[in-house]
Amino acid sequence: MTTLDSLSHWRLERDADHVAWLTFDRAGSAVNALSADTMTELAVVLDALDAAPPKGLIIQSGKATGFIVGADVNEFASLDTPEQGRALVARGWNLFNRLAAVRYPTLALIQGHCLGGGLELALACRYRLVADEPGTSLALPEVMLGIFPGWGGMLRLPQVIGAPAALDMMLTGRSADARRAAALGLADARVPTRLLRAAARQTVLSNKPARRARGLGGWANRWPLKSVVANRARKQIAAKDPQGHYPAAPAIVTLWEKHGGNALQAPGLIDGIIASDTARNLLRVFRLQERLKANGKQTGVTPARHVHVVGAGVMGGDIAAWCALKGMTVTLQDQDMARIAPAVQRAAALYARRLKDPRLARAAFDRLIPDPAGGGVPLADVVIEAISEQPEAKRALYRSLEPRMKPGALLATNTSSLSLETLRTGLADPTRLVGIHFFNPVAKMPLVEVVHAEGDAGDALARACAFVGQIDKLALPVKSAPGFLVNAVLAPYLLQAMRSVDDGVAPETIDAAMVAFGMPMGPLELADTVGLDIARAAGDELAGGAEPPRCLAERLARGDLGKKSGKGFYTWRDGKPVKQAGAAPAAAPAGLAERLIQPLVDATRQRVEAGVVADADLADAGVIFGTGFAPFTGGPLHYQRSNP
């Protein structure tokens, strides 16, 4: 029989005010995740508190990594039968209902990530306080794993913040920082870290009623507004996913509307969601994402504090802005202030959009320092070159940078196509140059390819991966080869789409077919967005001397370069493509999507066989996070294995 003294994951203490402090510190793990054994122990704690009730219970984390990151996804991935799925849902639903019903007041003291089952546990408490610090994040992201928040989140979140706001969080997986959590009513207050314990004790003893949604948000939990809100949500889901690739989203709406958030009242829905290919594939993608994150957690690497970026164009300027957003001092160099000014303007807009708080936005802006003379070079831990794709210009720049860099500083190129072997010529220490290849737009694309050459010792690669992890991007090590991984698989896909245009298929029909397949945008809209001149250059390098598609050559001859010139495969207005109405996937020739995707799949396999990327799983991860390849498929190689 488990007793309080034999607990492995929880520690219970009582203070002089008879407040119980329950600390969750999962043994053998860097993060707190809710598993079968941790929840069994929590039930033991509740037994003990039932026998000797405290004046209040405060639940906190013993991990520096955050409150609770959610349920242990490995337990979801190992479900084999419908009965196991229902038992998993029942375990959390019943335990958190028990927590919600205790006689004494309860409070969740939240620092860092409070996600999924962690937020469901917090919602079962009467009060929630959040640390007023940048790392605080509250979310129910289960829909992104193809599942639903079945441990009380679908019941309690709408009650606390109102149905419309709750459905938005549950259907998008969108997180709330400390400021937004307090504004929504999801947290009772946001508190400076130094005052958290005192505020928690005061709040749990305050005898204040629990927060509940008021106004229209609260009324939307009741008939008839409930049906109106549910139907509106279904229409929005259908507009975004007309093919029904992601069944968890409509299931969440149904469970909230028809079953009060209790999935146990709809066992068929549990069975269908948990057993679906989508859920299995999205759980696979989550594990692949964690593997990429692990690449960015290199031991023994000193974090970068100062980054110097040379080249203030769209890529260089946005890389600099992102690094400053993530807390680094950044110096941005170009020929003069006039070239740097547009990057600074874009950075200001990024900070206002991302940080909300004007003080934080100003602090990030102050970390981004225009530096036409390159005075930041000797101070930088990482120097990133992001100038034009001209080998001699890059080599000349390196010759001027290398003597000025401090010992041990990393020299990186953002080249998208040139080999490291070509660029290293003339360097006193060739191995200090690595590729750190970002994708456009930098703020939205999570993947960064970290490029190394054959025979590299690995120190520079490890430091580059650590830097990528430090700025919250996913690091994918790739070997120096034309196009690396992502561009090498995109080019044949885009060219195949253009050849379909040559065959008489309308661009709108092609793009509609691929969006229906599950891509975030069609290949021709993507080509326009990237730039048809850039698509042509990539195609020339990777097409083995084949003639470019006629439709591409004709547009380039007219100077139609896509979005940046206002016209390509589409006319662009206000940053959006103007498309002819009525282009439906049904209008596409039979098998069009499969024909378009096959060159991408083939190129991905070839890159694995050539050793450009270490294995097929990493290749799938790179293509998903670097191109947006339909996540519900599990990646191009997994998709082909599953659909021979």
Catalytically annotated residues? 437
Angstrom distance (rounded) from CA 14 to CA 18: 6
84 by Cβ neighbours in 10 Å (0-12 / 13-18 / 19+) ranks as: middle
3-state secondary structure of 465: helix
3-state secondary structure of 478: strand
Residue with the two structure tokens 């549990």 = 270
Angstrom distance (rounded) from CA 128 to CA 126: 7
| DSSP, residue by residue, 509-547 | HHHHHHHHHT-SS-HHHHHHHH-HHHHHHHHHHHTTTPP
Residue with the two structure tokens 């992001």 = 386
Q: What share of the chain is helix, strand, coil (3-state, %, to 5)?
A: 50, 15, 35
Token output for 420: 């490291």
CA proximity to 140, closest of 181, 107, 88 = 181
Angstrom distance (rounded) from CA 566 to CA 559: 10
A 10 A CB-CB count for 51 gives 7
Angstrom distance (rounded) from CA 641 to CA 40: 39
DSSP class of 382: E
| DSSP, residue by residue, 336-374 | SHHHHHHHHHHHHHHHHHHH-SHHHHHHHHHHEEE-TT-
List all residues 6 or more positions away from 442 whose beta carbon is below 8 Å from its beta carbon: 315, 318, 319, 321, 322
Angstrom distance (rounded) from CA 306 to CA 327: 9
CA proximity to 541, closest of 425, 389, 435 = 389
3-state secondary structure of 503: coil
Q: Cα 168 to the chain's mean position, in Å?
A: 17
562 dihedral zone (left: phi>0; alpha: psi -120 to 50; beta) = left
Dihedral sign, CA of 605, 609, 613, 616?
Answer: positive
Angstrom distance (rounded) from CA 509 to CA 192: 54
CA proximity to 277, closest of 629, 635, 634 = 634
A 10 A CB-CB count for 342 gives 13
3-state secondary structure of 270: helix
HEC readout, 301-325: CCCCCEEEEECCCHHHHHHHHHHHH
Distances (CA, A) of 599 to 25, 490, 513, 549, 552: 48, 9, 16, 15, 18
3-state secondary structure of 23: strand
* CB contact at 8 A, 528 and 572: yes
132 dihedral zone (left: phi>0; alpha: psi -120 to 50; beta) = beta
List all residues 6 or more positions away from 233 whose beta carbon is below 8 Å from its beta carbon: 167, 171, 253
